[in-house]
Homo-oligomer: A and B are copies of this chain.
Amino acid sequence: MAILLTPGPCPVPSFVAEAIAMPVMPHRTAGFEAFFGEMKEGLRYLFQTEAHVCGMMGSGTMGVEAAMYSLFKEGDAVLVPDFGKFSRRWVDYGKLMGLNLSTLTKKWGEEPSVVEFLEKAQNIPDLKGVVLTHCETSTGVAIDLEEMAFVLRRALPEVLLLVDAVSSVGAIPFYFDAWDLDCAVVASQKALMNPAGTVYVAFSERGRRAVRQTHPSDGRNLWNYLDFADRNSFPYTPPVQLFYGIMAALGHIRGAGLPAVWNRTHSSAKTFREMLLKAGGVIFGTGTGESLTAFSIPGTEAGDLRAQLKEKGFLLSGGQGELKGKILRVSHMGPVCGVEAMIRLRAAIHT
C-alpha cells in the first residue's frame, strides 16, 4: 500500500477510522447534545479561541464560501489578496456575490507582504472585510497572518478578518483569539486527518454579530449552524459518525498538545527540505508555508518524478492550474506525513 503524502486528502489514521465505525447515536437526544458540547470544546482548543465554533457539511471551498456569504453582501468593499488557486477562488466567489472587490495579486509562489497589504487595505474606502488565505495549498506559501492581523487591527479596527485556514489550523501555529481574527475555516481532510465531508468555523463576537440572519433553509448561511450550536445541536441531520472521527482527531491533538503537533509539521518540512536541497532540488516560490512543500528537481520532469515515486510507494500531488506539470507537492500535515515518512521518501528520491 502506497503512503499518501498529498496535501489533502490526508491519510486517515486507524484511531480515526475506528471512531467513525462506532454505532450511530440518535441526534435529538441529551447524549448527542453532551457529545456536541465536547466537540465544541475540542474545536475551541484547536482554533485557540474562547468564542464561537460550529461545523457544517461540505468541503473547505464550501466552508470559505459560506463564511463569505454569511459575513458580506452585495456592494460590500472587500479585499482579497490573490496569490494562488485557492485565494483566486475567493476572488471569483466575491465577484459572483457582487462584492465591491479589491484584489492584491501576486505571482504564484509569492505571498503579499505585510506592508503592501496594509497600504492596499488603507486605500479602500469603507472597507468592510478582508479574506486572507493563510496557507496557499496550491503553491505551499503562507502569509504572515499574525503580523497582517496585527497591523490591520491597529489601522482599521472594525474591518472583518476572514481567514481560509483550511490547510493551516492543526498544522502550523494559529491563535484565533490572540490574533484577533473574526472568522476562520478549517476542513476535515487536512490536518484534522479525517475523511472529507465536514468543515469547522470559528467566529469572534464581532464576526458573529456581522453574520446575516436568514431563513433556516438557507444552508449556506452560517447563522443557522451557530444558532443551533449554541444549544449543542445541528440544523440538519448531523453527520454523527464524521463528528466521531473529528472528536478522535481533536483528542489526539489535545493529547499531544498543539505545540507538539505544530512542531511535527515543522520537523517534517525541515527534514524534507534539507534533503531536497542536498539532492539538487528546488523549493517552489518563497516556501514560507510548512503545511506542505511545493518543489521540483531540475532535469526531471515533474510528471515523471511523480510516476517514479508512485511506483516506489509514495503518492504526491502535482501542480494545479498554471503549475500543472511544473511542480510536485508533498504534505507535512498529520502523523502519517511526519519525519519518518520524509526519511523514507528521501531514499526514494535519491535512488
Contacts and interface: CB of A to CB of B under 8 A. Distances in A.
Given A9-B237, A196-B237, 11 more contacts: A12-B24, A20-B21, A58-B219, A59-B237, A65-B219, A92-B215, A195-B239, A195-B242, A196-B238, A196-B239, A220-B220
Contacts of A12: 21, 23-24, 241
Interface string A227-240: 00000000011111
Contact of A4 (B20, B23, B197): B23
A27 B195 CA distance: 12
Contacts of A317: 26
A270 interface: no
B59 A58 contact: no
Contacts of A21: 12, 14, 17-18, 20-21
A145 interface: no
A62 B18 contact: no
A96 B218 CA distance: 9
Interface in A40-90: 57-62, 65, 89
Given A60-B237, A220-B219, A242 B23 contact: no
A184 to B, nearest CB: 18
A219 B93 CA distance: 11
Interface in A185-219: 187, 189, 195-198, 215, 217-219
B26 A236 contact: no
A6 interface: yes
A129 interface: no
Nearest to A1: B23
Interface residues of A, number: 48
Contacts of A198: 197
Given A24-B9, A197-B242, A218-B96, A236 B315 contact: no
A11 interface: yes
Contact of A24 (B11, B18, B89, B93): B11
11 contacts: A4-B26, A6-B26, A20-B195, A21-B21, A24-B189, A57-B57, A57-B62, A58-B236, A62-B219, A62-B236, A196-B241
A224 to B, nearest CB: 11
A118 B187 CA distance: 47
A60 B189 CA distance: 22
Given A11-B24, A12-B23, A240-B9, A89 B195 contact: no
